Amino acid sequence: MYTLIAGGKVVTSTGARDADVLVDGETIAAIIDREPPQGNPAASGPAPAGPARADRIVDATGRYVLPGGVDPHTHLDLPVGGGVVSSDDFETGTIAAACGGTTTIVDFPTQVRGGSLAEALDTWHAKAAGRSVIDYGFHMIVSDLTPATERELGDIVRDGVTSLKLFMAYPDRLMLDDGMIFRAMEISRDLGAIVCLHAENGHVVDALVRGAVAAGHTAPRYHAVTRPPEVEAEAVQRAITMAGLARCPLYIVHVSTAHAVVRIAEARRRGAAVYGETCPQYLCLDESVYERDVMEAAKYVMSPPLRPRWMQAWLWEALDQADLQTVGTDHCPFWLRDKARGRDDFSKMPNGAPGIEHRLALLHARGVRAGRLSWPRLVDVFATAPARIFGLHPRKGALEPGSDADVVVFDPNARRTISTATHRMRVDSDPYEGVEVDGVVDTVLARGEVIVERGEFVGRAGRGTFLRRGPHPPSRG
């Protein structure tokens, strides 16, 4: 079955051109320039097919045609203790992702302390299989590095889970000490895996939290006060130092501060294999929301917390300059009834916020339209760079012959207002409530199948497959 996505402007991480995309079954067959690229008429090769040969035409006139997004940071169906679980499962969360132009996610199986990595992986496969509407990979959260865990790591990587996620925060549940982090980095280097780090100094945060609560400072705004930029900056520097000594590639998740950007940029200039991810919430929201009423502010209790507004410019600039490489969502939604557990004590509030649906719309409206990001940079941070860093490229994150036909047709001119009433995420609040965005996702193909049509989900649960990822590429991405 041939599908022709006709009449649009094809944007990749390297440029934009007027071209049609021919899809053959699950993969891209050709990108057919409507005008040969200037000075290089052979660049697109001989046109192998035209509309006459297509079984289906998707009209992309006046729209942008992009590779499907790769969200490298989601937490679906995640238990966080006390019976609280993130509110989107692999079906509801991936439907929301697809409607927002994301066709691949990488989620986080979480080792229970005392448990094995194999158990965690089996548990996440069971959560995702039969539910996910888009393809998915896993990063393995190691919360307990015992000799038995070390022996399991080779199997996990051979099973296609080629990245570990480690925590420098949450000492009571997830944190590894520096010795364990360093050892995990050495093992990862030898296995061809990359280490992802949640970089906040957990012991300092816990001491600040204890002090705040003892002083009666229990409102959500103290969540931000007890996680100041310095605890991220210190942890990022420590992580870069350890990864350099271990010669292990390093990916810092959810970078929120100018302080961290400076350290990552400096490491990259030295040639270190260090990558930084930021998230829409740090690009578009700021700490002033913590001044709102308790349950309004509760919606923004996430780690790291939101920062002063001036830091947003640093993050946009870093994305534009490729000092930061990716934008993931850290989608971790909770019902307001679960957030309410921390109404009288912020330290009891589940950390996290929704966002899986809004990554492309916000990058477009606040990035491209605001003149902070070019279209090719948007595509890079949204799709291509995460695919490259996590061993999925060129199958994912690319519009090239042979790539999976994961394609987004995006209408840059339609306007809408983000609202809990209309979002697809299964959660009763939205951090971007009332925000106007220009640009809507019109059509999404995932491995050649139309799963979003005129903005509505038309796919089916369970069509997504597990992605066995390759090793981290030896060169810098």
- Output 65 or 105, the one with its CB closest to Zn ion: 105
Q: Does residue 406 touch ligand URP according to CB under 6 A?
A: no
Q: Using the 8-state DSSP alphabet, how is residue 111 labeled? A: P
Cα 12 to Cα 399: distance, rounded to the nearest angstrom:
7
Number of residues that make up the chain: 477
Residue 106 beta carbon to Zn ion: minimum distance, rounded to whole angstroms: 11
Q: Are 247 and 189 in contact (CB under 8 A)?
A: yes
* Pair 157, 192: CB distance under 8 Å: yes
Minimum CB distance to ligand URP smaller for 332 or for 360: 332
Cα dihedral 140→141→143→148 (10° resolution): 0
Q: Is 29 in the site for ligand URP (CB under 6 A)?
A: no
Token pair in block for residue 42: 């052979």
Query: Residue with the closest Cβ to Zn ion?
Result: 198
| Of the residues 44, 143, 303, 403, which one makes contact with ligand URP according to CB under 6 A | 303
CB of 351 or CB of 403, closer to ligand URP = 351
Question: x/- contact string, 302-341, with Zn ion (CB under 5 A)?
Answer: ----------------------------x-----------
- In the shown chain, the binding pattern of residues 315 to 334 toward ligand URP, with x for contact by CB under 6 A and - for none, equals ---------------x-x--
CB 336, CB 295: distance < 8 Å:
yes
Closest separation between CB of residue 108 and Zn ion, Å?
A: 7
Residue 139 lies near ligand URP (rule: CB under 6 A): no
Shortest Å distance, C-beta 334 to Zn ion: 13
| 307 is a site residue for ligand URP (CB under 6 A) | no
Find out whether 277 and 255 touch, Cβ atoms under 8 Å: yes
Q: Is the dihedral angle over the CA atoms 258, 303, 333, 285 positive or is it negative?
A: negative
When binding is defined by CB under 5 A, the residue of 17, 165, 198, 263 that contacts Zn ion is: 198
Residue 191 or 302 having the CB closest to ligand URP: 302
Contact between 362 and ligand URP (CB under 6 A)? Answer: no
Of the candidate residues 202, 220, 352, 391, the single one contacting ligand URP (CB under 6 A): 352
Q: Say whether residue 232 binds ligand URP (CB under 6 A).
A: no
Residue 351 and residue 256: Cα distance in Å, rounded? Answer: 15
E strand or H helix at 11: strand 9-12
Tokens 């939604």 -> residue: 333
Closest CA to 398 of 6, 103, 134: 103
H helix or E strand, kind and range, residue 194? strand 194-198
Please say whether the beta carbons of 104 and 406 come within 8 A.
yes
Q: Does 224 bind ligand URP (CB under 6 A)?
A: no
Measured distance CA(154)–CA(190) in Å, rounded = 9
Asked if 87 and 465 count as a contact pair (C-beta separation under 8 A), the reply is no
Distance CA 314, CA 312 (A): 5
Is 351 near ligand URP (CB under 6 A)? yes
Site string for ligand URP, 72-111 (x = CB under 6 A): ---x------------------------------------
Of the residues 17, 131, 139, 198, which one makes contact with ligand URP according to CB under 6 A: 198
**# binding residues, ligand URP (CB under 6 A):** 8
Which chain residues interact with Zn ion by CB under 5 A?
A: 198, 330
| Chain residues in the site for ligand URP (CB under 6 A) | 75, 198, 302-303, 330, 332, 351-352
